Structure 1
Amino acid sequence: MATRTQARESVIGLLYAYDLGNEGIVKFVDEILEDKKIRNKQKEFALNLFNGVVNNYALINEHIALHLKQGTIKDIGSVEKSILRLAIYEILFETLDRAIIINEAIELSKRLASDGAPKFINGVLDKITKEA
């Protein structure tokens, strides 16, 4: 059975594809999660996260843009944006402890993103958490 971390990692992959312009991926989320062996409660969890991010995309992007020290959202790598979007959605709309959300985002960024991503993601999420 898949873990929540594996479910989040799959959601990040889906958000990455969505960010790159593959908006049609929304139609295939069930099949993609099934292929990755994300099933039952974890599939519900992943679907909730993916749909939540997509449905609140503009609001989440505003939060990212407001909390950047320099540059714009377009300057952030797609993987980093996907991790941020997922974590921001969880901070704003889910009941999980914020420290757990931030820690999970940092750990995922260590595995999936560039070397400087964990520090960058931590900084942005920390600012958002203080205001949310």
Structure 2
Amino acid sequence: MATRTQARESVIGLLYAYDLGNEGIVKYVDEILEDKKIRNKQKEFALDLFNGVVNNIEKIDEEIVSHLNQGGIKDTGSVEKSILRLAIYEILFKDLDKAIVINEAIELSKRLASDGAPKFINGLLDKISKA
């Protein structure tokens, strides 16, 4: 059975594709999750996260932009942006411990993103969680 971390990792992949302009991926989310063996409760969890981010992407991106020190959202890498969007959605819209959400985002960024991503993601999410 898949873990929540694996479900989140799959959601980040879906958000990455969505960010690169593949908005049609929304039609195939069920199949993609099934291929990754994300099923049952974890599939419901992943679908909730993906749909929640997509449905609130403008507000989430506003949060990112308002807390960036320099550069804009377009200067942020797609993987990093996907991790941030997911974590910010969980911070703003879900009743989860913010420290756990931030830690999960940092751990995912260590595996999926560039070398400087964990520090960048930690700093930005910390600001947002305290706002």
* Shorter-chain TM-score above 0.5: yes
TM-score, length-scaled by structure 2: 1.00
Match of 1:91 in 2: 91
1:96 shift after superposition: 1.0
How many residues were matched structurally? 131
2-structure distance, mates of 1:113, 1:63? 20
Match of 2:21 in 1: 21
1:37 shift after superposition: 0.1
- Structure 1 runs of 4+ aligned residues shifted over 3 Å read none
Match of 1:79 in 2: 79
The 5-angstrom pairing of residues 92-131 of structure 1 reads 92-131=92-131
% identical aligned pairs: 85
TM-score, length-scaled by structure 1: 0.99
**CA deviation profile, 1:14-40 (whole Å, cap 9, x unmatched):** 000000000000000000000000000
The 5-angstrom pairing of residues 35-54 of structure 1 reads 35-54=35-54
2-structure distance, mates of 1:67, 1:10? 26
- Where structure 2 has 5 or more consecutive residues not aligned to the other structure, the ranges are none
2-structure distance, mates of 1:76, 1:34? 30
Letter in 2 for 1:80: E
Q: Secondary structure at the match of 1:92?
A: helix
How large is the RMSD of aligned CA atoms in angstroms? 0.2
Letter in 1 for 2:81: K
Match of 2:4 in 1: 4
- Where structure 1 has 5 or more consecutive residues not aligned to the other structure, the ranges are none
